[in-house]
Amino acid sequence: MAGRDVRLDADWSRDDEPVFVISRAAELAGMHPQTLRQYDRLGLVTPSRTSGRGRRYSRRDVVQLIEVQRLSQEEGINLAGIRRILALESEVRRLEHRVELLAAAAEPGSRIFTAALSGDVVAVRAGQRTRRGARGRAQGETTPAERAALVVWRPQR
């Protein structure tokens, strides 16, 4: 499809920034805008909304649209199954993050704690960045203010 010629794998600095109107997102994903509206109603790919309730899609949303279409057309999975797959993938990512946090907390002497803008304190492994939990934030991506909030704690010996 012509829409897939666009380089979605480029190193964009803000994967979750809602920048595409529905017509552009549909073009990038190689779909009809009505399909995007249906996926939104079904909760498969939920874009951000403007104050006037217009849909705005991020690069990550477009990639997810393409994956939903692939699962449907190439794998023959119905939309209910796709919704379940997406939910399970999200849960796996959440659990992987939890395992990383627990592993970091279990290593005495190598704990690093970061403070997010929200005030949450998170333990991470040395040399790693925090994962953000809020929608609109990419895994491993931090803002300048969050990078400035890094606190390294080493116990007195």
**Single pTM value for the model:** 0.57
Q: Helix axis angle, 59-73 relative to 22-29, nearest 10°?
A: 50
Task: Output the six-digit token pair for 64.
Answer: 């997810």
Nearest to 66, CA basis, from 101, 39, 84, 105:
39
Would you state the pLDDT for residue 128? 65
pLDDT of residue 108: 67
Contact indicator for 126, 113 with CB cutoff of 8 Å:
no
What's residue 98's pLDDT? Answer: 92
Query: Cα(2)–Cα(67) distance, rounded to whole angstroms?
Result: 16
Give the type of residue at 132: R
3-class DSSP state of 4: helix
The pLDDT score that the predictor gives to residue 30 is 94
Q: What is the residue-level pLDDT of the chain in tens, covering all 157 positions? A: 444 444 555 544 578 788 899 999 999 999 999 999 999 999 999 999 988 988 999 999 999 999 999 999 999 999 999 999 999 998 999 999 999 888 877 776 666 677 766 677 766 666 666 555 544 444 455 555 545 555 666 677 6
Joined together, the tokens standing for residue 58 give: 């991020």
pLDDT for the residue 84: 95
With H, G, I as helix, E, B as strand and everything else as coil, classify residue 20: strand
Nearest Cα residue to 44 out of 98, 31, 139: 31
Q: Tokens 């627990």 label which residue? A: 102
What's the pLDDT score for residue 103?
81
What's the pLDDT at 3?
43
What is the number of other CB atoms lying within 10 angstroms of the CB of residue 47?
Answer: 22
